[in-house]
Structure 1
C-alpha cells in the first residue's frame, strides 16, 4: 500500500525532529513547499543524514545524492512516492 503525501510528510517531520540541528518549531510548521536549506537550515551533513534515515524508514534507495537534488520537503515526498510504486 502506497503512503499518501500527508502520511509521508508526517513521517518526514518525525525524522527531521530527530535531527539535532533543526529547530522543532520550524519542523512542525513545515509544508511541502518548505525549503530544506533556506528554511530548515540543512547543511550537507544533515542532508546526507536525512537521506540515510529516509532510506531506512521508507525502504527506498537514493541512487544519487547531489547537493540540490531535493530543494523542498515536497521534492523528497515525490521521490519517496516514485520509489514505492
Structure 2
C-alpha cells in the first residue's frame, strides 16, 4: 500500500470493493464512515467475508481473525486498514 493514504482515499477504494462484493455499480454505494456494514449496506455474514477478502487483496494487507468481529462500520474498516498498513510498514 502507498505511504499513508488519507481516509478519503481509502473510502474511495473501499466503495469500489463494496460495489464488487455486492455486485452493483459503484455509484449506488452511498456510505460514509458511520455507515453500518450490515444494516446500512445490507451485507450478510457471507458478504462480510467476501468484503474482508476483497479489502485484503485491494490494500495488500491481512486481517487477523480476532479483528474481524469489530468491523461494524465503514470507519472501523478504515481504522483497521490504516493500523495494519502502518504495522506492515514498521511505523
Normalising TM by the smaller chain, what interval? Answer: 0.7 to 0.9
Q: Match for residue 14 of structure 1?
A: 16
Give the greater-gyration-radius structure (CA): 2
C-alpha change, 1:23 and 1:35, in structure 2 (3 Å) is farther
Structure 2 segments unaligned to the other structure (5+ residues): 87-91
Aligned residue pairs total 84
CA contact (8 A) 1:37 1:71 kept: yes
Give the distance between the partners of 1:82 and 1:45, measured in 2 at CA. Answer: 24
Give the distance between the partners of 1:50 and 1:34, measured in 2 at CA. Answer: 15
- For residues 7-35 of structure 1, what are the alpha-carbon distances to aligned partners after superposition, in whole Å with 9 as ceiling and x for unaligned? 000000001111236685651x2000000
Which aligned runs of 4 or more in structure 1 are off by greater than 6 angstroms?
none
TM-score after normalising by structure 1 = 0.86
Give the distance between the partners of 2:17 and 2:66, measured in 1 at CA. Answer: 18
Give the distance between the partners of 1:66 and 1:84, measured in 2 at CA. Answer: 14
Q: CA RMSD in A?
A: 2.1
Structure ranking higher in helix proportion: 2
